[in-house]
């Protein structure tokens, strides 16, 4: 935006400018990003933007939008710029300490709820690699009589999760900083996990939005992508009640291998569920080893 400040910048004009700018930089969904950011800068819905297309921006509004555009130009994800992302119909606070919740992970919640319906009144739930707490808090809100523990190796992530639990009223959820199971005691009826599952050699080839801003600790699953997943499967029986369920998100093309890990560890009733894109995204099984 290098033209004279005397120019009248309407909503239509700034949207076109930002959209063209984002598109030239190879940013996906340039128009959508521009609309979402402008809506936040103006405190308006996308519908309201359409209605008020010829409305000029005040200097303060224009300055706020410019700052957001600069951050997006640098490939900072829109969710971090806004400071939140919707998941399962709730707005979760996010920043660079946690992965941005994605629609794929809602499949993990769906599977967890469906496979523990029989224990819905008083289940004990453990969510590993909890990050922003989106899975743990959603399970806590959907099943308010359950007790949910979220665990993560990152103290920063736990701070974000605790903030989300407070703002979303998940009073039956609490969070601990530990490496996977750590010193956690007792048996759980359900263990969920969205572990790091991207193979280390694949990280540099991801979108710049991810590589530059999202925490690599929450992305990288070792040389083959299975390092953390294998540890979760191996340790799960010591923390599951008889008949308890382990449900994990997996990467595209990983479901068969993870199902075999569960099978080899003694899990039964192993199931694979597809996400909205029809990719096998969640593998789950029942522990009946006791």
The one-digit pLDDT tens for each residue of the chain (290 residues) are: 554 455 789 999 999 999 999 999 999 999 999 999 999 999 999 899 999 999 999 999 999 999 999 999 999 999 999 999 999 999 999 999 999 999 999 999 999 999 999 886 789 999 999 999 999 999 999 999 999 999 999 999 999 999 999 999 999 999 999 999 999 988 999 999 999 999 999 999 999 999 999 999 999 999 999 999 999 999 999 999 999 999 999 999 999 999 999 999 999 999 999 999 999 999 999 999 76
Hey, where are the domains in the chain? Answer: 11-74, 98-287
Assigned architecture for domain 98-287: 3-Layer(aba) Sandwich (3.40)
C-alpha–C-alpha distance, residues 156 and 171, integer Å? 20
Please indicate whether the domains covering 11-74 and 98-287 agree at the CATH topology level.
Answer: no
The CATH code of domain 11-74 reads 1.10.8
Contacts of 281 (CB under 8 A, 6+ apart): 104, 107, 108, 249, 250, 252, 255, 273, 274, 275
The pTM assigned to this predicted structure is 0.92
Q: Nearest-CA neighbor of 229 among 157, 109, 129?
A: 129
């Amino acid at each position: 935006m290098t033209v004279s400040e005397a120019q009248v910048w309407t909503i239509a004009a700034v949207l076109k400018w930002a959209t063209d700018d984002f598109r030239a930089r190879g940013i996906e969904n340039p128009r959508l990003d521009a609309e979402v950011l402008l809506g936040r800068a103006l405190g308006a819905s996308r519908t309201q933007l359409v209605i008020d297309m010829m409305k000029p921006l005040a200097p303060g509004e224009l300055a706020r939008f410019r700052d957001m555009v600069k951050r997006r130009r640098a490939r900072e994800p829109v969710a971090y710029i806004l400071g939140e992302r919707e998941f399962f119909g709730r707005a979760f606070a996010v920043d660079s300490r946690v992965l941005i919740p994605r629609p794929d992970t809602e499949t993990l919640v769906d599977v967890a709820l469906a496979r523990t319906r029989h224990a819905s009144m008083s289940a004990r739930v453990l969510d590993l690699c909890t990050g922003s707490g989106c899975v743990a808090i959603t399970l806590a809100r959907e099943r308010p009589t359950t007790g949910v523990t979220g665990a993560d190796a990152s103290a920063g992530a736990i701070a974000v999760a605790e903030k989300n639990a407070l703002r979303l009223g998940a009073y039956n959820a609490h969070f601990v900083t530990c490496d996977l199971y750590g010193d956690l005691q007792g048996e759980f009826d359900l263990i969920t996990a969205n572990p790091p599952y991207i193979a280390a050699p694949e990280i540099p080839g991801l979108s710049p939005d991810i590589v530059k801003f999202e925490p690599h600790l929450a992305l990288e699953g070792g040389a083959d992508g299975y390092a953390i997943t294998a540890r979760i499967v191996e340790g799960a029986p010591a923390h599951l009640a008889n008949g308890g369920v382990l449900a994990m998100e997996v990467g595209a093309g990983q479901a068969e291998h993870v199902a075999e890990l569960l099978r080899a560890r003694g899990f039964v009733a192993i199931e694979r569920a597809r996400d909205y894109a029809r990719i096998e995204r969640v593998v789950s099984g029942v522990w009946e080893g006791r």
